[in-house]
Amino acid sequence: MLILKKILKSIKSDIKKSNTIENLEVIRLKYLGKKGIINAFFKKIKNFSLKQKKEYSYVINNIKLETVEKINQKKIQLNTILFDQKIKKENIDVSLPGRRIRNGSRHPIATTINYIQDFFLKIGFQIVKGPEIEDEYHNFDALNISKTHPSRDSHDTFWFDSNKLLRTQTSSMQIRVMEKEKPPIRFIVPGKVYRNDCDSTHTPMFHQIEGLIVDTKVNFSNLKWIIYNFLYNFFGKYVSIKFRPSYFPFTVPSAEVDISINNRDSLEILGCGMVHPQVLKNVNIDSHMYSACAFGIGVERMAMLRYGIADIRYFFENDLRFLSQFKYK
């Protein structure tokens, strides 16, 4: 035991005297290396009695742990001294050019949403936000969507249980707002929606902007005026616009809007129509006194056309080479 105490004293003394990282490494190998003094003692223990093995193993192991701790403490101390010395030696050259700060850019989806919101704010619409986790009533039942409609199936909708789901459309906010407010009503609902679909033109999560007007004497001509002015504002006066008859459970009559830019193939970009009288009845609005029109805009599709993007998945891959091309104005 006496020799072990002398070794510990020697270790502490050597570590204290070390003044460089290199010298400290030599000391570490001397005591802790494979051929080091402490390892040599461990090898000798096999020749001791069982009682001596227990006693010596405990002492040697404590010496090893203390040695590791002392070396680490000394290493931190030496590194701090070296860093301070380096700082004192280095001079700052104020003539050197500064490092450039690379400014970020707003995501093209956020830019598109902001642009659309600005347009509708100018013509008197409010902006409303709603929950992304919806119940079956607001997402389907109140919008006149039948129990057998395929959109209710799990291959199209993400269900949590028999009632809760990730909303498949921002149209559910039509019901929530009309339940609480009385006409006249005019608002848009930007937000994320979810559908079980993924390819070059579809993603499981995407963005929609729902619009609704409820008032007396609202008709399809009012709706067309809004759509025409919005699309001309967004794409320019030379865009070709076509309303095509369609079907939605919550609007009648219903239409889809196709556009063509620079005489290219037409592409459907939004759906619209006059709100079905049953939907108004579901929220206790008199359909004989009031009428309503609604429209739903797919933000990603608008952005793809505006910026000439071929694959919707580019928006969500977080590739800085792609995102840095877009600057918010």
Domain that holds residue 132: 108-323
**pLDDT number for residue 30:** 83
Please tell me the least confidently modeled range out of 88-92, 181-185, 217-221. 88-92
Report the C-alpha gap between 168 and 224 in whole angstroms. 25
Q: What's the token pair of residue 278? A: 């049953």
On whether the CB atoms of residues 117 and 127 are closer than 8 A, the answer is yes
**Number of domains present in the structure of the chain:** 2
Nearest alpha-carbon partner for 115 in 172, 188, 186, 184: 188
- Same domain flag for 130 and 276: yes
Which of 25, 59, 89 is the last residue before a domain boundary? 89
Residue percentage of the chain with pLDDT more than 90: 43
- Same domain flag for 272 and 131: yes
Give per-residue pLDDT as tens, 112-134.
999 999 999 999 999 999 999 99
**pLDDT number for residue 201:** 62
Place 199 in a pLDDT band, splitting at 50, 70 and 90. low
**pLDDT number for residue 276:** 95
- Same domain flag for 288 and 154: yes
Place 32 in a pLDDT band, splitting at 50, 70 and 90. confident
Is the entire prediction scored with pTM above 0.75?
no
**pLDDT number for residue 329:** 45
